[in-house]
């Protein structure tokens, strides 16, 4: 994308998503993600009603009377965006393309994070780790992230969800909130990696899909292409058996994704490209608040 066109697109995304995060999400985001960790603050003398599990036995032994550790919520969070840049993100038959919707959702979350004084970083992934942007604060950093969301060109087209979850677990040492944004089109079993990542971090899954992906239209012979492997084949969509088989495939794959999230205790929201992602994100925040 040419520089002037890219800057214009960045500005459009900034105006739209910064307004959304300031006017709509500020309170919900803060309530949903504030102080997920607890930081040691001070010690003080034990008072009636304090939790005995908070007693600092070393200080108690020195002073010959009980003292407890006082903790406070960590207000500053680190937020990571895990962005799927595999080939399937370019699909868009109903509404905007998945890439466009993912970009707007990620930008909205990024502006919400800096308004909450949080650091924000990004991991772009396909079946490889394509790019890692370390978490920082500030508007300049956010605009750099938006430029990359719009214009980043991955080297690979496949998908490996477990790989990016393992990378998150190993690369980010301090507990963070991680928004895992993907269409989750994969036959891979990533539940184990998701469970491990969510034990260390606070993982939230955001699925972006196109409604045309959920069922085949009855339009006769249709050439379909696997956007991740490049394979093409003709299928007869006038066959009810073919359409039913495809719908069954989608339902089973979707059930596996939701089951992986449920068993890993990860909140997930599914957003179609022609739906209002603002409403979906607000419902997600309210659920966590």
Instruction: Write out pLDDT tens, residues 253-280.
Output: 899 999 999 999 999 999 999 888 888 8
Residue 27 pLDDT exceeds 80 = no
Question: pLDDT digits over 124-179, tens only?
Answer: 999 999 999 999 998 899 999 999 998 899 999 899 999 999 999 999 988 899 99
Task: Return the structure tokens found at 90.
Answer: 């370019």
Res. 35: pLDDT tops 80: no
pLDDT of residue 92: 53
pLDDT of residue 90: 66
Distance, CA of 105 to CA of 282 (rounded, Å): 12
Q: How far apart are CA 276 and CA 287, in angstroms?
A: 17
Comparing 32 with 253, which gets the higher pLDDT?
253
Average pLDDT rounded to a whole number, residues 32-60? 75
Q: pLDDT band for position 242 (50/70/90)?
A: confident
* Whole-number pLDDT of residue 165: 97
Closest CA to 239 of 219, 253, 223: 219
At residue 73, what are phi and psi to the nearest 5 degrees? -65, 140
pLDDT value at residue 115: 80
Are 70 and 99 a contacting pair, CB within 8 Å? no
pLDDT greater than 70 at residue 30: no
219 or 289: which leads in pLDDT: 219
Q: What is the pLDDT of residue 232?
A: 74
- Tell me which range, 92-96, 131-135, 149-153, 245-249, is most confidently predicted by mean pLDDT: 131-135
Residues of each domain in the chain carrying CATH 3.40.50.410: 3-33+75-288
pLDDT of residue 48: 77
Distance, in Å, from the CA atom of 48 to the CA atom of 51, rounded to the nearest integer, reads 9
Place of tokens 């750099």: 144
Statement: residue 72 has pLDDT above 60: no
State the average pLDDT for the chain.
84
Mean predicted confidence (pLDDT) in 6-35: 71
Three-class SS state of 71: strand
Neighbours of 148 (CB within 10 A): 17
Q: DSSP character for 55?
A: B
Mean pLDDT of 26-53: 70
Query: 3-33+75-288 falls under which CATH superfamily?
Result: von Willebrand factor, type A domain (3.40.50.410)
Instruction: Choose between 6 and 243: higher pLDDT.
Output: 243
Of 161, 171, 169, residue with least CA distance to 128: 161
Higher per-residue confidence, 257 vs 219: 257
pLDDT exceeds 80 at position 56 = yes
């Amino acid at each position: 994308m040419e520089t002037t066109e890219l800057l214009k697109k960045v500005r459009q995304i900034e105006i739209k998503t910064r307004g959304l995060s300031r006017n709509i999400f500020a309170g919900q985001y803060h309530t949903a993600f504030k102080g997920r960790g607890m930081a040691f603050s001070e010690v003080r003398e034990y008072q009636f009603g304090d939790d005995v599990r908070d007693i600092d036995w070393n200080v108690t032994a020195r002073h010959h009377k009980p003292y407890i550790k006082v903790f406070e919520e960590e207000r500053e969070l680190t937020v990571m965006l895990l962005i799927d840049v595999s080939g399937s993100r370019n699909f868009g038959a109903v509404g905007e393309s998945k890439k466009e919707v993912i970009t707007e959702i990620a930008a909205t979350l990024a502006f919400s994070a800096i308004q909450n004084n949080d650091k924000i970083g990004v991991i772009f992934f396909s079946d490889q780790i394509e790019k890692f942007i370390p978490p920082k604060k500030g508007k300049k950093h956010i605009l750099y992230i938006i430029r990359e969301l719009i214009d980043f060109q991955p080297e690979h087209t496949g998908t490996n969800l477990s790989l990016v979850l393992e990378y998150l677990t190993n690369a980010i040492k301090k507990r963070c909130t991680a928004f895992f944004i993907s269409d989750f089109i994969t036959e891979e079993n990533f539940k184990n990696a998701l469970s491990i990542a969510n034990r260390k971090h606070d993982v939230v899954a955001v699925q972006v899909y196109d409604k045309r992906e959920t069922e085949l239209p009855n339009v006769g012979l249709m050439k379909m292409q696997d956007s991740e492997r490049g394979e093409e084949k003709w299928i007869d969509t006038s066959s009810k058996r073919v359409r039913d088989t495809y719908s069954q495939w989608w339902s089973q794959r979707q059930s596996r994704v939701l089951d992986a999230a449920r068993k890993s205790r990860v909140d997930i929201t599914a957003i179609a490209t022609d739906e209002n992602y603002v409403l979906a994100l607000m419902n997600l925040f309210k659920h966590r608040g």
